[in-house]
Structure 1
Amino acid sequence: MSGIFTSRSGSTKTPSSRQSIMWLLVLLLLVFTAGMLLLSSLNLNYSREALSDLRRQQLNDVVGSGLQRINARQAALANYTITLANVGESFHEMVQTGFPDADREVLRERLENSLRAHLQDFEGAAGAGLWFEPGVLSESDTSYMPYFTLGTDNQELTRSDSEARFGHYRSAPWFSRTLGEDWTADTDAAGTVYWSPVYYDLGIERAVLTLATPMFDRQGNLLGLATTAWGADQIIDVVSRITVTENSFTFLNDRNNRNLSSLSKGEDTREEQALIDAILALELVGEASRENNGSTDATVLTDTLTTRQLTVGDEHYELYFAATAGGMVYGAGVPFDEINAVLRPMEQTNQRILIGTVSVMLLLSLYLLYRIIQLIRELQASYTDELTGLPNRIRLLRDLQSRDNASLLIINLDRFNEVNSLFGNVCGDHVLLAIATRLTSFTRDHELEVSRVYRLPGDEFAILTPLLEPMAIQEVAREIRDLVTGDRIYWQHQPLTIDVSIGMATRRDRKPEDSADQLVSQAKAAVLQARQQNRHHVLYDPSVGIEENYENNLYWANRLKEAIDNDRLVPWFQPIHDNHSGRITKYECVVRMVEPDGSVISAGHFVDIADRLRLNRRITVLMIEKCFACFSERDETFSINLSYGDITDPETVEPIIQTLEQSGIGSQVIFEILESDGITNYKDIGAFIERVRPFGCGIAIDDFGTGYSNFAHLLSLNVDFIKIDGSLIRNLHEDHTAFLVTSGIVQFARSLNIRTIAEFVHNEAVQDRVCELGIDFSQGEYFGMPLSRL
C-alpha cells in the first residue's frame, strides 16, 4: 500500500457546510433585526422631529400672539403721543392764522384744557405734556411747557410748574432718558416716537416710561416735543396675562436690559431671581434688535422671533424672544420637559410599535430560521443514511456528477440476510454500524487526496476515491476485505463471521452523455460477477458486455410497456392432442406481443423483464379477460399459466374469481401452475385451488420434474394434470435415463388418478415413446405450434 495511501497523523476539522449556512442565517437575522431597528429608529426620530417642530411652531405662535398684544398696546401708546403732538401743532397753526398776541392766554387756556381732556381719555396715562421751543406760544426768551400728571386714582389732575423748574425741556429728566443728550431735530423724525426706559418718577411716585415725538410747523421748523408718561404696569399687566405653558414664564426687558415683569414660575423667589439674572446676562436687547434690523413694524417683529437655550440649575429652557415696537424685548421661556411632554405619548406609542414590530419580526425570523434549520436537516437527511450517519446513494450520485475521473468500490456483505434471520434486525444494524466504523477509519487513517465512504441500500457500502490504476484499486480492495474479515464482530458475546464481495469500477474523462449512476451500475455488475465467479473482488471489464445487457433490458422494458398501453399483447393457442381419442381436445393459451409492423414476438423475449418490473400480474389479468372471451362460444378446454406470484396476489386472484363468476365456463378452464416458480408455501396454492374448484376448473402442475419436492406436495394439492417437463420429453426417444424418470412420473400420477401431458413432443419418434409410456396428452411442434386463431 505504500505510494497509494499516506498515513495521517492528525486531522484538522473544518467547519461543515451546515455550520457555515447556520452562521450565515444567523448573520442575516442579525442584519435584518438591526435594519428593522435602524428603520424604526429613523422613523421615530423623524416623527419626533416633525412633532417637535410642530410643537415649537405652536409655541412660536403663542409667544408671537403675546408679542402682537404687547406691540398693539405699545402702538396705542405711540398713537396717543402722536395725537397729542397733533394737538400742539394745531394750536400753533391757529396762532399763525388768526389769533393775535393779545389772545395768547386764552389760547393757552384752551390748549391746557385740551391737554387735560386727552390725558383723562388716555387709559393708563400717568402724565402728558407739550414742550414748546422758546417763543412758541410764549415770549421769545421763555418756553411754554404745559405738563399735567394724573394721580393713581385717575381722578386728580395736576399742572406741573415745568417752566419754572426746567426753563427748557432739554433740562427735563425725561429728555435725556428718552432722546439722549445729543438729540437734534430732523424733519425725517416727524411721526417718530421715542421711548424711554422705565424709571421712577419722584414727582408722581410711580415707575413710568416716557414716549416723546417732535412737533413741526408747516415749514418744518421744530416746535417742540409732545410727551406722554405711562405707568410701567400698563405693559407689565399685558405680559403677565400671557400664558404659554403651565410652567413657562414670560419676561419684558427695556432697552437698558432691565426686567420689567414678574416671572410666572411660582412662589420660589430665589428661582425667579435666578431666572431674571440669567436672562439679563444674555443681553437679549441687542440681539433682538439685530434680528429685526431696528424695525418697529409689528408684522416684521412677530415673524422674527429668536430662540435660544437657557440653563438655570438643573432646568433647561428654550427662550422665544423678539424686540417690541417700543424697543423692548419680550420673550417666553418654556421648559424642555414641557416641550417634549407632547412627544412622550407619541414616543411611547412608537416604542410600543417598535417593540411589537421587532418582536413580531424576531419571532417570524426565529420561525423562519427554525424552518430553514428543519429544511437543512431534512436535506441533510436526504443525503445521509439514518443508521450509520454516512452519506447515502443520493449523495454518491451527486458527488459523481462533479468528478470526471474517479474510482468506485462497492462492498457487499455476503449472506447478510442470514444474520438478520438468525439474530434479528438489531444484530444486523450492529453489524452495519461496525462495518461503517471500520471503513470510515480506513479512509481516515489512509487517505489518497479525497476519499469518502457511503452507505447504499441493503447490505452495501461504497468508497469513492480519485482515479486509481487497476493494480492500485485491487490492492485497496484486498486491504478492505482484510479489514472487514480480520477482526470478528461480536453480538452478545457471539462471534459473527462476515465476508464481503467487492466490485470495482473506474472512470477516466467522463463523457457528457455518461449518466451519474453509470459507475455505480458498473461496480454493482462487478459485485455480481464476483459472486458468480466465487471471487472476493472483481474489477469491472467493459468488454464483458454488462452495459449492453442493461441497455437491452431497458429496450425491452420500454417495448413491453408500450405494448400493454396500446393493447398489443394477445393470446395465441397451441393444440394439445388426446392420445386416447386421437383428437385435439385442449389448447394452451400463451401470450404474444404484436409489433406495430405486424411482427409477432414470443413471450421468451420479455417474460423475465415483465417479472422484474412486476408487470406479469397485469399481463395475467389481461390474458384471463381475452382467453375467456375467445372460448365463451366454444366447447374446447383451454389452459392458462399462473405463476406462484399470481396466485398469492389478491389483485390477480380477485379478477380471476370475478371472471369465473360472470363467464359460466369454469369447467373448460385449466390453470397451469409452474412447479419450478419458487413456490415457498404450498398452502397458498391449496387455498387458490379451493376457491376455483367450485367453478369446475382443472388444476395442472406445469414443468413437473424440475422441482425438489414434487411428489410430497402432489398428495396435498389434489391436482388434475401434471405436465412433464420438456427437458425429459425432448430426448425421450434417445435418452434411456429420461425414459425411466418419465416412466416413474407416469406411474406415480396414474396411482393418484392424475392425468399426464407431455410437453415438447417435436417428432414421431418421441410421440411413439410417449404413447408407449401411456401418457394421456401430447403437446408440441409435432401437433402444432401456437397460432393466433383456433
Structure 2
Amino acid sequence: MLSIQRSIMLTLSLLVALFILGMWLMSSLNLGFAQGAMSELRQRQITDTFYANLGRINAHHHQMEQNTEDLARLGELYHRLYPSPGRFSAVQLRLSLKQTLADFPDAYGSAILYAPGAIGQTAFGMRAYRDASEIRTESAGTDFHTRDWYKTIVRDLSEDGSLVRSYHWTSAYYKNDTGNAVISLSTLMHSDDGQPLGIAVTDWGTDEVVGLVSRVNVTPGTFSFLLDKENRNLSSLALAENVQLAQRLIESITSGKLQTLLPEKGPDSTRRQSASAMQQLKLTVDEEDYALFFSYTQAGMVFGIGVPQKEIDAVLTPMRDSNLRIVALIGSVLLLLSALILYMVGSTLRQLRTLYTDPLTGLPNRERLLVDLSTTRAASLILLNIDDFKELNDFYGHQCGDHVIKLLAQALQRYLKLQPNGASRRLYRMPADELAIWIPGEHSDAHLQAKLDKLMTFVGELRIDWEGQNISLHVSMGLASTRLPDGNQLPAELLLPSANIALKQARLTQNSYLIYDPVHRARENYEYNLIWANKLRTALDEKRIVPFFQPIIDVHTGRILKFECLARMIDEAGEPISPAQFLPVAKKIRLYRYITRCMVEQCFARFADNHYEFSLNLSCEDLLDPQLCAEIISRLQNSGMGDRVIFEILESEGIENYESVRLFIDKVKALGCRIAIDDFGTGYSNFEHLLRLNVDLIKIDGSLIRQLDTDPNAVTLTRGIVRFASELGMQTVAEFVHSPTIYDHVKTLGIDYAQGACIGMPAAALVTEINLR
C-alpha cells in the first residue's frame, strides 16, 4: 500500500511539473511570437521613419539642385542676351545674382562662372554671398578656371555624358567670406549649341543641413548623421549635450566607412530608393549597443540614424514584465493548487491506508482482507481467536489487551516468515481479539491440519510479560479452504464467513480448531436464522406480531378467570406462526425486547374494556432493560390495570442480577401486579427464585404435568411443589393440561389453576366458556 501511495504521489508530482513546464513553454513561445511581432513592427516603424527622413533630405537636395539649375539658366540667359563683351552688363548680372540669392533663403552664396571664350576672351565670374542680413556681391576674378576645384568639377560634369542635367556636390568645407562651413553644388551652363559656358554654383550652410538631419525622431536617444563624399560627418550629435559621448559616436561612425558597405550602384535621383537599399549595422560605444540604419541620398551622401538598442527593446520590456507577472501569478496559483491537490490526494491516500491498516499492529485489517479475497482464486484462511480475552482485559486492563495483541501479531509475523513460502503468506488484524492468516494455494486436509497443529503449539509456547506478570495464551482457530474436504470448490469470497463458522463451532464444541466442512450444515443454520431474522424485522415493521390468548381455568370453580398472552407472527397469507420458529432468532439478534414492547402495548389495549386478568412473559433481558421497564411502569400507572396484570418470569433464563430484577418487581407489585415463575420444576435455581423474588404464583412445568397419569415420580414431585407453595402462601398453575384425565389429577393434587389443550388453545379471540367433558 505504501509503495502504491508513493507511486501515485510521484506520478502526480511529475504531471504537475510537466503541466507547469508546458505552461512555461507556451508562455515563452507566445512571448517570443509577440516579441517577434512587436520587433517587426518596431523595425517597420524605424524603417518608415528612416525613409521618411531620407525622402525629406532628398527633397531638400532636390530643391538645392533645382535652385542651382535656376541659377545656371540665369547664366545661360545672360549669354544669349549678351553674346559679346561689349554688350554684357556686369551691373545687371550683379543685381540678378543678389535677387536670385534673396529668392534662395537657405543658400549662403551663389556664383556664375564663365569660362574663357564664353563672354570675351578672358574668364569672367560674379559671386553673391550673405553677410549678416545683407547680400553682397563681388567679382570672382579671371583665374578661377585655372584652379583645381574648377577643373575637377568641369571634368566630372563633362564625363557624365547624359542629356539630363548633372550636379557636382562638394564635401563640407569652410568658406572665409561667409565664415561658415558650406557644401557647394555646381552644374554646367551650356550654350544653345550645347557647348559648355562655365558653371553655376550655390553654397549651402552645413548648419542648415545639420538642422535638417537633426529633425529625425524615433526614440529619445536617437541621433542622425549625414556623411559627405569625404566621409565627413554632418550629424545631430553636434547639438548633443554630452559632447564627449557625441564625439566618440561620430568617430565610430566615420571609422566604420559606411560607404564601403553600400551597393556600388549610383543613387537614384528620380525616385526614393527601395527598402532593400537601407543597410543595418550594429555599433557598440562605451559598452552600449546602437542599431545603425543608413543609405545613400540622391546627392551621393550617406544618410543614417542610430537608435540605442535598449530603447528599441524598451518597447518589449512592458510586454516581458507583463508576461513575467502573468506567468508568476499563474505559476503561483498553479503551484498552490498543485500543492493543495497533492496534499488532498496524499491525505486521501493516507486515509485509504488507514482504512486498510490496523493502527495498533500496523497489519492490514478486515477491509483489506475482503479486498484481497475478491482477487483470490485458491487459498486457505485461518481465523485465530484469543480465548478468555475479555477476562484478560477486565483483570489487567485494556492496555494489557492491546499489548498482548501487538506482541502476538509480531510473533506470528516472525513465525510465518520462517515457514516454507512464508513470504507469500499474509497476516491480518481482525476486529476485537482475532487475527487472520491467508495461505495461498490448494492444500489437503492433512496438510492444513498439520499447519494448525504447529500453529497451536507455537502460540501455546508463547509467554508474554506484562508488568512482571507472565501471561500464557490459549487460542481457538477456524480454517476454511477453497478446496473443501469433499473435493468441491468454495468461492474465495466465502472464505471469511466459512472460517468464522468453523471458529464458532470450534468454540461451541470446545475444540482447539476446526476445519470448515459443509457436511456440518452450519451454513444452512446461519441462512435459516438470516431468513427468519428478515421475516421478523418485516413483521415488526408491518405490525404482524400479535398476541394470542390461552385461557386459564380456576380449578376450584371451573371458571375462566385469566389468560396468558402469547406472541404469534402472522405470515403473508394470514396464518399464525409458532413462536418456536422466531423467538430463538429474536433473542440472537436482540429483537426480543421489541416483541415484548409490542405485546405489552396490544395486551393492555385488549383487556382495557373487560375484567379478566392477563399474564405477560418477561425474560431476564427484558427485566434488565431500563427503558422497557420504565415504559411498563408508566403504562401501569396510566391505565390503573395493575391488579389484573401478572408478569411471568421465565425461570429457564437463569436470573443472575437479582437486585435489578427485584427492583422492578417491587415497583410493579406496589401498583397491584403479581409475579409468577414460569417453567418451575426445571433447572437448579427454582427455590432461590422463590425466596429472592417475592413470587405470587408458581407455574409448574409441563414436563411434570403431562406425566401425572403415567409416572408416579411426577405425581410425587408435583405434590411436593404444591405443598411447598401452599406453605409459602403462593398459588400454583398447571401447564400443558392436555386431557380430562390429567385435569382430574391436577384437581386431586390441589393445584389452583390449569391451562392446556384440554382447557383451550391460544387464539386471537378470548375464549371464556369451555366444556371439559
Instruction: Provide the TM-score with structure 1 as the length reference.
Output: 0.85
Say whether 1:18 aligns with 2:13.
no
Say whether 1:596 aligns with 2:566.
no
Which residue, 48, 55, 67 being the options, matches 1:80? 67
Q: Which amino acid aligns with 1:431?
A: V
Q: What are the residue-to-residue correspondences of 1:567-646 with 2, within 5 Å?
A: 567-646=543-622
- Contact 2:502–2:516, Cα closer than 8 Å, also in 1: yes
Which whole-Å deviations, capped at 9, do the CAs of 1:628-676 have from their partners, x for residues lacking one?
A: 3322322222222233333443553454455445544444333333333
Say whether 1:123 aligns with 2:86.
no
Q: Which amino acid aligns with 1:472?
A: H
Which residue, 426, 439, 446 being the options, matches 1:471? 446
**Judging changes above 3 Å, is the alpha-carbon distance between structure 1 residues 601 and 155 closer, same or farther for their aligned structure 2 residues?**
same
Corresponding residue for 2:408?
435
| 3-state SS of 1:263 partner | helix
Which whole-Å deviations, capped at 9, do the CAs of 1:352-384 have from their partners, x for residues lacking one?
A: 544444333323322322222221111111111
Q: Which amino acid aligns with 2:607?
A: F
Distance 2:74 2:483 in 1: 123
Give how far 1:702 is off: 2.8
Q: What are the residue-to-residue correspondences of 1:360-375 with 2, within 5 Å?
A: 360-375=333-348
- Contact 2:107–2:205, Cα closer than 8 Å, also in 1: yes
Corresponding residue for 2:145?
166
Gaps of 5+ in 2: 767-773
Corresponding residue for 2:185?
211
Say whether 1:335 aligns with 2:317.
no
Distance 2:607 2:282 in 1: 114
Give how far 1:401 is off: 0.7
Q: What are the residue-to-residue correspondences of 1:401-440 with 2, within 5 Å?
A: 401-440=374-413
Which residue, 411, 415, 429 being the options, matches 1:455? 429
Which residue, 359, 367, 370 being the options, matches 1:394? 367
Corresponding residue for 2:771?
none
**Judging changes above 3 Å, is the alpha-carbon distance between structure 1 residues 364 and 133 closer, same or farther for their aligned structure 2 residues?**
same
Distance 1:112 1:746 in 2: 175
CA RMSD of aligned residues (A): 3.8
Q: Which amino acid aligns with 1:420?
A: N
Which whole-Å deviations, capped at 9, do the CAs of 1:254-276 have from their partners, x for residues lacking one?
A: 24433222637967665444323
Corresponding residue for 1:503?
478
Corresponding residue for 1:5?
none
Distance 2:191 2:652 in 1: 150
Corresponding residue for 2:281?
308
Which whole-Å deviations, capped at 9, do the CAs of 1:118-158 have from their partners, x for residues lacking one?
A: 2123223122234568876x46x7776x5524145252423
- Contact 1:296–1:327, Cα closer than 8 Å, also in 2: no
Give how far 1:397 is off: 1.0
Give how far 1:288 is off: 5.5
Which residue, 112, 127, 134 being the options, matches 1:148? 127
- Contact 2:377–2:492, Cα closer than 8 Å, also in 1: no
Q: What are the residue-to-residue correspondences of 1:633-712 with 2, within 5 Å?
A: 633-660=609-636, 663-677=639-653, 679-693=655-669, 695-712=671-688
Which whole-Å deviations, capped at 9, do the CAs of 1:279-308 have from their partners, x for residues lacking one?
A: 234333454668x99445787678976543
Moved more, 723-732 or 589-598: 723-732
- Contact 2:156–2:168, Cα closer than 8 Å, also in 1: no
Corresponding residue for 2:467?
492
**Judging changes above 3 Å, is the alpha-carbon distance between structure 1 residues 772 and 82 closer, same or farther for their aligned structure 2 residues?**
farther
Give how far 1:166 is off: 0.7
**Judging changes above 3 Å, is the alpha-carbon distance between structure 1 residues 242 and 582 closer, same or farther for their aligned structure 2 residues?**
same
- Contact 1:244–1:332, Cα closer than 8 Å, also in 2: no
- Contact 1:185–1:214, Cα closer than 8 Å, also in 2: no
Corresponding residue for 1:11?
none
Instruction: Provide the TM-score with structure 2 as the length reference.
Output: 0.87
Corresponding residue for 2:226?
252
Give how far 1:726 is off: 3.2
Give how far 1:79 is off: 3.8
- Contact 2:284–2:290, Cα closer than 8 Å, also in 1: yes
Give how far 1:683 is off: 2.8
- Contact 1:185–1:222, Cα closer than 8 Å, also in 2: no
Moved more, 478-487 or 717-726: 717-726
Give how far 1:616 is off: 2.8
Which whole-Å deviations, capped at 9, do the CAs of 1:9-45 have from their partners, x for residues lacking one?
A: xxxxx97222322333333343344344444555555
Which residue, 206, 218, 227 being the options, matches 1:232? 206
Give how far 1:182 is off: 6.1
- Contact 1:178–1:195, Cα closer than 8 Å, also in 2: no
| 3-state SS of 1:260 partner | strand
Give how far 1:472 is off: 1.6
Distance 1:265 1:742 in 2: 143
- Contact 1:178–1:197, Cα closer than 8 Å, also in 2: no
Corresponding residue for 2:522?
546
Distance 2:684 2:117 in 1: 165
Say whether 1:482 aligns with 2:457.
yes
Distance 1:264 1:526 in 2: 110
Give how far 1:454 is off: 0.6
Distance 1:178 1:533 in 2: 140
| 3-state SS of 1:597 partner | coil
| 3-state SS of 2:134 partner | coil
Distance 2:609 2:215 in 1: 124
Corresponding residue for 1:771?
747
Distance 2:71 2:615 in 1: 145
Which whole-Å deviations, capped at 9, do the CAs of 1:582-633 have from their partners, x for residues lacking one?
A: 1222222222222222333222212232233333333333323322332232
Q: What are the residue-to-residue correspondences of 1:47-66 with 2, within 5 Å?
A: none
Say whether 1:532 aligns with 2:514.
no
**Judging changes above 3 Å, is the alpha-carbon distance between structure 1 residues 227 and 181 closer, same or farther for their aligned structure 2 residues?**
closer
Say whether 1:263 aligns with 2:231.
no
Say whether 1:760 aligns with 2:729.
no
Give how far 1:433 is off: 0.9
Give how far 1:46 is off: 5.4
Q: Which amino acid aligns with 2:355?
A: S
Percent identity, aligned pairs only, is: 41
**Judging changes above 3 Å, is the alpha-carbon distance between structure 1 residues 277 and 533 closer, same or farther for their aligned structure 2 residues?**
same
Which residue, 30, 35, 59 being the options, matches 2:17? 30
Distance 2:150 2:483 in 1: 117
Give how far 1:399 is off: 0.5
Distance 1:309 1:221 in 2: 49
Q: Which amino acid aligns with 1:113?
A: L
Q: Which amino acid aligns with 1:529?
A: Q
- Contact 1:240–1:264, Cα closer than 8 Å, also in 2: no
Moved more, 552-561 or 48-57: 48-57
- Contact 1:639–1:670, Cα closer than 8 Å, also in 2: yes
- Contact 2:462–2:473, Cα closer than 8 Å, also in 1: no
- Contact 1:197–1:256, Cα closer than 8 Å, also in 2: yes
- Contact 2:426–2:439, Cα closer than 8 Å, also in 1: yes
Distance 1:60 1:282 in 2: 21
Distance 1:650 1:104 in 2: 157
Distance 2:654 2:271 in 1: 117
| 3-state SS of 1:150 partner | strand
Which whole-Å deviations, capped at 9, do the CAs of 1:69-96 have from their partners, x for residues lacking one?
A: 544544443443344355456667xx4x
Moved more, 701-710 or 568-577: 701-710
Distance 1:299 1:717 in 2: 130
| 3-state SS of 1:473 partner | helix
Distance 1:646 1:294 in 2: 122
**Judging changes above 3 Å, is the alpha-carbon distance between structure 1 residues 459 and 199 closer, same or farther for their aligned structure 2 residues?**
same
